[in-house]
Amino acid sequence: MAFDARAGDRSVSRLRRDATRPGLARRHRTVPSGVDPMGVEASVPEPEPVTMRLDGRVALVTGAGSPDGIGYATARRLRDLGARVAIVSTTRRIHERATELGATGFVADLTDESEVGALADAIAEQLGEVEVLVNNAGLASRASPEVLRPVAQLSFEEWQAEINRNLTTAFLCSRAFIGGMAERGWGRIVNLAATAGPVNALPTEAAYAAAKAGVVGLTRALAMEMVADGVTVNAVAPGTIYTAASTMAELKQGLGTPVGRPGTPDEVAAAIAFLCSPAASYITGQMLVVDGGNSVREAQFR
């Protein structure tokens, strides 16, 4: 069933859940059986199995319109782990990707609060409540290239555009689903950061770097807010990754990494999928860098 928030789709319920309302019931923190944190022997259920499987869970991957991108590769991995996958982008090509993946495609502008709300309703009606959220939307593409301009020449509109598509999208989508995750006592959120901003920076990338650094700040704050509710929130920070949107300059940068090549979308997707899985239950508020060791090396050696 096709859904297009921009077309004013009315095939789903317009009863909006209050995205700003906290979960109805805060889960108590649990400790392993036998551990005595307060001088009283604790007896709690066994922790969830250490498994990568996501059988039956509903997963949403944003920004999955490109068949060569990180979002598409992530959706494919989550599908292979047993998740029921929803994907979303700003254009109707998402329905082609959905057909290829056996997923459900949605069209929405994730910088628009009302469209994110309509998307949440549509997914709930067609697939069920989202339990796994991958905030991948915002990475540059050929259709929507990154703004490369020194701060002195950067317009306020260009600044806002970079912040909105890289940071606001993660905020709005996370806010739309965290209430339901908290009420059910389980959830996974993985945000796509980047090495630019949290780890390093290049001239002319101030807006992008600021947005991606903001993604890490959002990740850590939200992780602490949700830690008692069985919801983990982490970030993955790719370095130079070979996608259809890669420029020649970026590919040359990839050749200069310690590994000697740019990364692939599948390699980033593998890291994301792990953090989405039950196996990552004791990891939250973290940023996993996937850059071939580039951020570790102190200097370029010949």
Q: What is the mean pLDDT of the chain?
A: 88
How many Å apart are CA 287 and CA 232, to the nearest integer?
A: 12
Percent of the chain with pLDDT over 90: 74
How many Å apart are CA 281 and CA 267, to the nearest integer?
A: 21
Token pair, residue 176, equals: 């739309």
Cβ–Cβ under 8 Å, residues 36 and 101: no
How many Å apart are CA 21 and CA 150, to the nearest integer?
A: 40
pLDDT tens, residue by residue, 46-75 = 677 789 999 999 999 999 999 999 999 999
- 214: helix, coil or strand? helix
Percent of the chain with pLDDT over 70: 81
Question: pLDDT at position 50, please?
Answer: 85
Residue 166 phi/psi, 5-degree rounding, is -100, -25
Nearest CA to 207 out of 258, 144, 163, 259 is that of 163
Question: In this model, does residue 188 exceed pLDDT 60?
Answer: yes
Statement: the pTM of the whole predicted model exceeds 0.75: yes
How many Å apart are CA 89 and CA 166, to the nearest integer?
A: 13
Token pair, residue 112, equals: 């628009």
Largest CA distance in the chain: 63
Mean of the pLDDT values across residues 125-136?
Answer: 98
Residue 28 makes CB contacts below 8 A (sequence gap 6+) with 228
Question: In this model, does residue 6 exceed pLDDT 80?
Answer: no
Cβ–Cβ under 8 Å, residues 83 and 59: yes
Q: How many CB atoms lie within 10 A of CB 287?
A: 17
pLDDT tens, residue by residue, 25-52 = 455 455 555 555 555 445 555 677 789 9
Question: Can you count the helices (H) and strands (E) in the chain?
Answer: 8, 7
Mean of the pLDDT values across residues 102-110?
Answer: 98
Nearest 5 degrees, angle CA 184-CA 188-CA 191? Answer: 140
Question: pLDDT at position 244, please?
Answer: 79
Which of 77-86, 131-140, 156-165 shows the lowest per-residue confidence on average (mean pLDDT)?
A: 131-140
Question: In this model, does residue 1 exceed pLDDT 80?
Answer: no
> Of these residues, 72, 208, 242, 282, which one is catalytic?
208
Q: How many CB atoms lie within 10 A of CB 244?
A: 11
Q: Where are the beta strands (DSSP E) in 145-266?
A: 187-192, 231-238
Name the CATH superfamily, with its identifier, for domain 58-290.
NAD(P)-binding Rossmann-like Domain (3.40.50.720)
Question: pLDDT at position 242, please?
Answer: 92
208 in catalytic set: yes
